[in-house]
Amino acid sequence: MALRSRRRPRSLTELGLPEPDSTGRVVAVRRTGREMGAPGLIDKGQLGKGSTGNGPSPIAHSSAAPIRILGLDPGSLRTGYAVIDVSSGRISYVVSGTIRTEGKALPERLQEIFTAVAAVTAEFRPHEVAVEGVFMHRNADSALKLGQARGAALSATFATGPRVFEYAPRAVKQAVVGTGAAQKDQVQLMVKRLLNLAEPLAADAADALAIALCHAHSRRLHALMAVAGSRP
């Protein structure tokens, strides 16, 4: 099933988007199933509403204009991605999956991440991108690789000009599960419940969906903060 193409908005006003909040913080397909082993290939599975049987999830949201959000969970070996639509107070699952890299050298893997995320962005054209913020890591080498993977994934989205928002891992878990100490299996379970998904979700795809859902819930707060910051 192919998604209907959508005209690119010409302005933030047309999208109903707020300007960055007063702190300056920008805190800046439906696809599951088997994981594919070829370098840089995207895990493709579900698409559309067929597998849920229940349509969009009635999650509270304040926005008149439809907004498409891309959630990213970058990693040098596996990068989760997810796309959801937010429209008239409802959130609809579009696509999710895992980008697996097999390059032996880090530069090769970064190129695979960039190419695959660019393909997802070009196909689904998100208005906003949500990603986990940088956090301290016990292993300096792992932190460096993660940071570079994150940079490659984000850079691949810039061609369509989306706004980028960052969220701490605990904030994502808090928004989706209700506790910042939630385990991965709890995140997967709640994501499936919130979006009425029947089929299994890979861990990386579930994390990307959780990040996208966290941003969907936070958009109203961003708008209120922007309004408060503009008042004299």
Q: How does pLDDT run across 77-129, given as a tens digit for each residue?
A: 999 999 999 997 799 999 999 999 998 999 999 999 999 999 999 999 999 99
Nearest to 218 by CA among 150, 180, 166: 166
Report the run of H or E that residue 172 belongs to, with start and end. helix 169-176
Dihedral pair phi/psi, residue 59, rounded to 5°: -95, 135
Assigned domain for 7 exists: no
Q: What is the pLDDT of residue 49?
A: 36
Assigned domain for 205 exists: yes
How many independent structural domains does the chain possess?
Answer: 1
Residue 166, amino acid: E
Q: How confident is the model at residue 46 (pLDDT cuts 50, 70, 90)?
A: very low
Per DSSP, the three-state class of 193 is helix
CA angle 219, 225, 228 (to 5 degrees): 145
pLDDT at 228 over 50: yes
57: domain CATH number?
3.30.420.10
- Give me the torsion for CA of 151, 156, 162, 165, rounded to 10°: -20
What average pLDDT does range 168-175 have in this prediction?
Answer: 91
Q: Cβ atoms within 10 A of the Cβ of 28, count? A: 16
CB proximity list for 129: less than 8 A, separation 6 or greater: 69, 70, 71, 72, 154, 157, 162, 163, 164, 165
Q: What is the pLDDT of residue 141?
A: 85
Judge whether 70 and 212 are in contact, CB under 8 Å.
yes
Structural tokens at position 144: 């460096």
pTM exceeding the 0.75 threshold for the entire prediction: no
Assigned domain for 16 exists: no
How far out from the chain centre does Cα 28 lie? 14
Assigned domain for 109 exists: yes
Assigned domain for 225 exists: yes
Q: What is the pLDDT of residue 122?
A: 96
Measured CA to CA, the distance from residue 77 to residue 122 in angstroms comes to: 22
Assigned domain for 186 exists: yes
pLDDT at 23 over 80: no
CA angle 207, 219, 183 (to 5 degrees): 25
Question: Domain range spanning residue 76?
Answer: 25-230
pLDDT at 10 over 50: no
Mean pLDDT for all residues in the chain: 76
Assigned domain for 4 exists: no
What average pLDDT does range 163-179 have in this prediction?
Answer: 91
What average pLDDT does range 45-58 have in this prediction?
Answer: 40
Q: How confident is the model at residue 229 (pLDDT cuts 50, 70, 90)?
A: low
Which residues are the active-site residues? 73, 132, 204
Assigned domain for 11 exists: no
Positive or negative torsion for Cα 153, 157, 159, 165: negative
Q: What is the pLDDT of residue 6?
A: 41
What average pLDDT does range 29-43 have in this prediction?
Answer: 42
Q: What is the pLDDT of residue 155?
A: 96
